[in-house]
Amino acid sequence: MLLLRAEPPRRGSPRTPVLPTTTTPPPPPRGRSQLRSPRRLPPLPLPRRGCSRFPPGSPATGGRRGAAPVLAALLGLGAVLAYGERRRRGAQAAQATPAPRYPLYTREEVGRHRSPQDRVWVTHGTEVFDVTDFVELHPGGADKVLLAAGGALEPFWALYAVHNQPHVLELLQEYKVGELGPEEAPPTPTATQDPFAGDPARHPGLRVNSQKPFNAEPPAELLAERFLTPNELFFTRNHLPVPAVDPGSYRLRVEGPGGRALSLSLAELRSRFPKHEVTATLQCAGNRRSEMSHVRPVKGLAWDIGAISTARWGGVRLRDVLLQAGFEEEREGEWHVCFEGLDTDVGGAPYGASIPYGRAVSPAADVLLAYEMNGQELPRDHGFPLRVVVPGVVGARSVKWLRRVAVSPAESPSHWQQNDYKGFSPCVDWDTVDYSTAPAIQELPVQSAITHPRPGTAVPAGELTVKGYAWSGGGREVVRVDVSLDGGRTWRVARLLGERPVPGRAWAWALWELQAPVAAGAELEIVCKAVDGSYNVQPDTVAPIWNLRGVLSNAWHRVHVTVGR
**Mean pLDDT across the stretch 510-538?**
98
What is the model's pLDDT at position 165? 73
Please write down the long-range contacts of 29-32, taking CB distance under 8 Å and 24 or more positions apart: 29/59, 29/117, 29/118, 29/119, 30/63, 30/113, 30/119, 30/121, 30/130, 30/132, 30/177, 32/63
- CA dist 266 and 387 (Å) reads 12
409 vs 133, higher pLDDT = 409
* Partners of 467 in beta bridges: 452, 513
Q: Are 236 and 275 in contact (CB under 8 A)?
A: no
Peptide bond into 38 cis (omega under 30): no
What is the model's pLDDT at position 259? 86
pLDDT for residue 357 is more than 60: yes
pLDDT for residue 5 is more than 60: no
pLDDT for residue 350 is more than 70: yes
pLDDT for residue 31 is more than 60: no
What is the model's pLDDT at position 194? 86
- CA dist 510 and 276 (Å) reads 22
What is the model's pLDDT at position 193? 77
Strand ranges (E), 265-363: 275-283, 308-317, 336-344, 350-356
The mean-pLDDT minimum among 26-30, 65-69, 530-534 falls in 65-69
**Mean pLDDT across the stretch 529-551?**
98
**Mean pLDDT across the stretch 226-231?**
96
- CA dist 402 and 369 (Å) reads 9
- CA dist 318 and 310 (Å) reads 20
pLDDT for residue 253 is more than 60: yes
Write the pLDDT tens digit of every residue in 295-317.
999 999 999 999 999 999 999 99
Non-local CB neighbours of 30 within 8 Å, separated by 6+ positions: 63, 113, 119, 121, 130, 132, 177
pLDDT for residue 404 is more than 80: yes
Share of the chain above pLDDT 90, in %: 69
**Mean pLDDT across the stretch 212-231?**
95
Model confidence band, residue 52 (pLDDT cutoffs 50, 70, 90): very low
Q: Are 407 and 257 in contact (CB under 8 A)?
A: yes
Share of the chain above pLDDT 70, in %: 79
Tell me the pTM: 0.72
What is the model's pLDDT at position 84? 53
pLDDT for residue 290 is more than 90: yes
Q: Is 373 helix (H, G, I), strand (E, B) or coil?
A: strand
Write the pLDDT tens digit of every residue in 165-215.
777 788 888 999 999 998 887 665 555 578 999 999 999 999 999 999 999
| Separation in Å, CA 9 to CA 12, 19, 59, 229, 472 | 10, 18, 65, 11, 23
pLDDT for residue 565 is more than 50: yes
What is the model's pLDDT at position 408? 97
Pick the closest to residue 562 from 479, 492, 494, 461 (CA basis).
461
Model confidence band, residue 94 (pLDDT cutoffs 50, 70, 90): low
**Mean pLDDT across the stretch 525-551?**
98
Strands 510-518 and 523-532, by their bridges, are unpaired
Q: Are 561 and 466 in contact (CB under 8 A)?
A: no
pLDDT for residue 59 is more than 50: no
Model confidence band, residue 89 (pLDDT cutoffs 50, 70, 90): low
pLDDT for residue 54 is more than 60: no
Model confidence band, residue 365 (pLDDT cutoffs 50, 70, 90): very high
Write the pLDDT tens digit of every residue in 102-142.
999 999 999 999 988 999 999 998 999 999 988 777 666 66
Strand ranges (E), 104-145: 104-105, 114-115, 119-124, 127-130
What is the model's pLDDT at position 497? 96
Q: Is 66 helix (H, G, I), strand (E, B) or coil?
A: coil
What is the model's pLDDT at position 26? 52
pLDDT for residue 72 is more than 70: no
Angle between helices 80-96 and 67-77 (to 10 degrees): 140
| Separation in Å, CA 558 to CA 231, 305, 483, 490, 544 | 28, 11, 10, 14, 16
Model confidence band, residue 8 (pLDDT cutoffs 50, 70, 90): very low
What is the model's pLDDT at position 153? 84
Provide the 8-state DSSP code for 196. Answer: T
* Partners of 510 in beta bridges: 470
pLDDT for residue 472 is more than 90: yes
Q: Are 235 and 309 in contact (CB under 8 A)?
A: yes
| Residue 98, amino acid | P
What is the model's pLDDT at position 63? 37
Average pLDDT over all residues of the chain? 85
| Residue 552, amino acid | L
Catalytically active residues, by annotation: 138, 163, 237, 284, 421
